[in-house]
Structure 1
Amino acid sequence: MPTALRSAPPARRVVRARELAVIIPAHNEADAIAGTLDALSRQTAVPRRVIVVADNCTDETGWRAAAHGAHVIETKQNAHRKAGALNQALAELGDDAPPFVLILDADTRIEPDFIEVALAQLAADDALGAVSGLFVGERPTSMLQQFQANEYIRYGTQIRATGRVSVVTGTASMFRTAALRDVAAARGTSLPGTPGDVYDRAAITEDSELTLALKNCGWRMVAPDACVCTTELMPTWGDLHRQRVRWYKGMLDNLREYGISRVTLRYFAQQAMILVGILTIATLLLLTALSIAAGAFAVHGLWLALGGVFVAERIVTVWPGGSRARLLAAAVLPEIAYDMALQAAFLHAVALALLRRDTAWNHVTAPEAASLVPSR
């Protein structure tokens, strides 16, 4: 009986140090850094130059990174969080920096052909400043994490459908060094920030701010289907709220700094639509409660038909997530409650932005052996 044929492993090449540098900012990521570096070693285009930036670490992050073959540097008196750590690492590359730089979070795993595809995209289009990853969540272990996983799947579906990249994600993105140098040269004049810095030290969401900076400098960006990365999901409602308050407030702060322009107009519209969604859901709940109290509540065929279309859309947009994702989407009401929790975080962020108050960085330690969702 003939032996079953097995598919050959993908061909690999080593990406020379003068082609690409991988920079991984890490603050107390001893639990996750090994998995991130292992994913890099499985790339079809294996990077030779991997730099882990140990930023004010009090654990074994640096030691574990070095044990996995990475070059480790420690930040010097960094008080500007992730943006400051990345600025120091990019400055250390100096004038001999390679033409492309991959910025990768220490708790993120990238698909085996991420680097190969991103390099090909940048090499084929000189107007392209960045290739953003499409992030998916780890394998959910609770309903809360399934909510987030569904949200991330829908975000990827939206990018594929529109071709628009709203934010070059900080989880995993590759940049053209010339684009980063353009941003650094414009800081303090046409862009906010300190002259010579790639990342704005004051930005609490450095990825969204850098996206606005790149677009203001005229650079394009894409998010190919193959550039998938897996990132952590918040384990508790408190962690989720703090994460989203920081995300929302970071964008609001960025828009205040940039003002209304051709680049930012769509982002202002997005924030306005969030407020419209909050008012719409609040109004719908109020009218439903009043109709029930008055004994006038009734279900009409037209609303059932519209509701069926809504449910179908919710299911289809999370289809790649599997049966658990589809069942949760079909239930509808739990996801509406989740959306309302996100809206509460947005209102909290608006209040903080109006009061000019800062929000704390929310660091979550993920289990070292967390299993990951298949992304294909």
Structure 2
Amino acid sequence: MSLTVTVLIPAHDEAATIERCIHAARTSSYPVERIVVVADACSDNTAELARSAGADLVLETDFKDKAAAQNAALWDITSDITIGFDGDTWPDPDCIRLMMEHIERDGLDATCSTILPAQGAVVPYSKTTGWGRAEAAFFTRQRRFAYALGRRWWRLCQAKVGRIQVLTGACYAFKTAAIQGIGGFPNGLITADMDATWALHGAGYKLDYTGDALAYTLDPEDFRTYRNQMRRWSSGYYQNMAKHRRQLKNWRSLLVVGGAIFDLVSLFFAEGYLIWSAVTGTHEALLKAFLFWTAVHTIVSSVLVATVVGVREAVYGVVPYTLVNYYNKWLYLCGFTREWILGRHYASWTGRQGRKTVITPMTAARRRTLSILAAATGSLTGLLGGYLGNSLLYTAGMGAAVAIPLSMVRLRGTGKRRATDTTTPAVTEEIPLLKLYDPDTEQTLQLQLPAR
């Protein structure tokens, strides 16, 4: 007997896309038992459009939190499998079937599909002329290149190791008993999909990646939206690693996470060293070797990407991907510094439809500790410079010993701390509102849920 499926769609102001998402799920080549939409904190008619599009159940909530919105529906799902799509995502007709076959064949507890940008593939760009279209093409093509490379390389490597870093929140498949078994979707962090992934790892469930399954999602089309999304992703990555740090004792986890951080740190170190070599005219052979292997890496990556999205998109995407990849690494380095060193945590959802960013303030204890360390390190550097007779080293060290502690005084954050410990769900001040639509009476019932 085939496993039964409920499709769960969390949506926030997705009036432009929710009908297409529901239609794609309903016309899947694998039968879907129910489609449940959770319209969370919507200011448009997402809920009404979801009902008219044929959703079996539409919940209207005001959590302002994706995990909490999904949990509002999760405990009433009785199907064997819960398939999740974001409200701006459209699965291919065979997407659900391929994930289901993978789950049944390999005895999985969870998996996810390949995601590609919808713009330029299944929907047009939001801006069709001038700079707006060029900017949209630049960012979506670099993202398409990155996702396709993941399909043929880094996601497959993670799957082989047995530690998928994140089950893509835009298109995932969980055994309902598994996600309910960890207490539902964890919240309190700004990347709930990664939090759920590592919670499942920690509970011993079997996760994998279904590369052949495909879904399209709306990706950022301009620099500001892209930057906000990537800053959230980078901060969420380090928040999750801090929360699930005990799992790093497992060699699989350590290999995957350690490799990612090594790639981040070594990239800037190697680039800085090579630039210095080029400017000073030293180590010419090393520079030539680096350029050669960079060219080889680019060619191999482009060939792998071409097998997923075609030669044309691979050629158009390689330059945007290469440029933006450096920027991504910079954002992740900033996220590392902000989250783990400064202790200032992202505490709001930001992205294509995100709200204003809120960053928690640095604690007084951390400011004192970092100020003392900076003063000590700068002073020792200055003394070393004085001993060696290096005026530049002396000036830099003494300047850092004074400037860095002074700068710590101003690092107080831009908003109110959500929780004392960001590894636990934040306490909300408002009592959440849950709206239930009764199709028989065509009335909406409002329920006040207990405050968290």
If the TM-score is normalised by the length of the shorter chain, which range does it land in?
Answer: 0.7 to 0.9
Q: Which amino acid aligns with 1:360?
A: S
Q: Which residue, 68, 73, 96 being the options, matches 1:89?
A: 73
Q: Which amino acid aligns with 1:46?
A: P
Q: Is the 8 A contact 1:62 1:72 kept in 2?
A: no
Matched, 1:201 2:173: no
Alignment-derived partner of residue 53 in structure 1? 38
Q: 1:312 to 1:67 in 2, by over 3 A?
A: same
Matched, 1:283 2:283: no
Alignment-derived partner of residue 274 in structure 1? 264
Q: Is the 8 A contact 1:52 1:73 kept in 2?
A: yes
Instruction: Give the alignment's TM-score, normalised by structure 1.
Output: 0.79
Give 1:166 shift.
2.6
* Percent of aligned pairs with the same amino acid: 21
Matched, 1:99 2:80: yes
Q: 1:219 to 1:142 in 2, by over 3 A?
A: same
Q: Is the 8 A contact 2:190 2:348 kept in 1?
A: no
Output one character per residue of 1:324-347: Cα deviation in whole Å (capped at 9) or x when no partner: 43324565xx54321121122112
Alignment-derived partner of residue 156 in structure 1? 151
Matched, 1:70 2:55: yes
Give 1:171 shift.
0.7
Alignment-derived partner of residue 318 in structure 1? 305
User: Which moved further from structure 2: 239-248 or 303-312?
Assistant: 303-312
- The 3-state SS of whatever aligns with 1:144 is helix
Q: Is the 8 A contact 1:212 1:264 kept in 2?
A: no
Q: 1:326 to 1:183 in 2, by over 3 A?
A: same
Report the structure, 1 or 2, having the larger helix content: 2
State how many pairs are aligned. 327
| Aligned pairs for 1:188-267 within 5 A | 198-259=184-245, 260-262=248-250, 264-267=253-256
Distance 1:71 1:245 in 2: 36
User: Which moved further from structure 2: 28-37 or 255-264?
Assistant: 255-264
Alignment-derived partner of residue 372 in structure 2? none
Q: 1:281 to 1:339 in 2, by over 3 A?
A: farther
Matched, 1:362 2:350: yes
Alignment-derived partner of residue 374 in structure 1? none
- The 3-state SS of whatever aligns with 2:325 is helix
Q: Which amino acid aligns with 1:254?
A: N
Distance 2:352 2:317 in 1: 27
Q: 1:287 to 1:172 in 2, by over 3 A?
A: same
- The 3-state SS of whatever aligns with 2:173 is strand
Q: Is the 8 A contact 1:114 1:228 kept in 2?
A: yes
Q: Which runs of 5+ in 1 are unaligned?
A: 1-14, 185-197, 366-376
Give 1:74 shift.
3.0
Higher-Rg member (1/2): 2
Q: Which amino acid aligns with 1:277?
A: L
Alignment-derived partner of residue 132 in structure 1? 112
Matched, 1:117 2:102: no
Matched, 1:24 2:9: yes
Q: Which amino acid aligns with 2:26?
A: S
Q: Is the 8 A contact 2:235 2:335 kept in 1?
A: yes
Give 1:136 shift.
1.3
Q: Which runs of 5+ in 2 are unaligned?
A: 121-135, 354-452
Distance 2:180 2:24 in 1: 28
Q: 1:330 to 1:41 in 2, by over 3 A?
A: closer
Output one character per residue of 1:153-178: Cα deviation in whole Å (capped at 9) or x when no partner: 11111134664433111011111122
Q: Which amino acid aligns with 2:109?
A: G
Structure with more relative contact order (C-alpha pairs < 8 Å, separation 6 or more): 1
Q: Which amino acid aligns with 1:44?
A: S
Instruction: Give the alignment's TM-score, normalised by structure 2.
Output: 0.66
Q: Is the 8 A contact 1:314 1:329 kept in 2?
A: no
Q: Is the 8 A contact 1:34 1:68 kept in 2?
A: yes
Distance 1:114 1:329 in 2: 25
Alignment-derived partner of residue 349 in structure 1? 335
Output one character per residue of 1:84-105: Cα deviation in whole Å (capped at 9) or x when no partner: 1011111233xxx111111111
Aligned alpha-carbon RMSD (Å): 2.7
- The 3-state SS of whatever aligns with 1:211 is helix
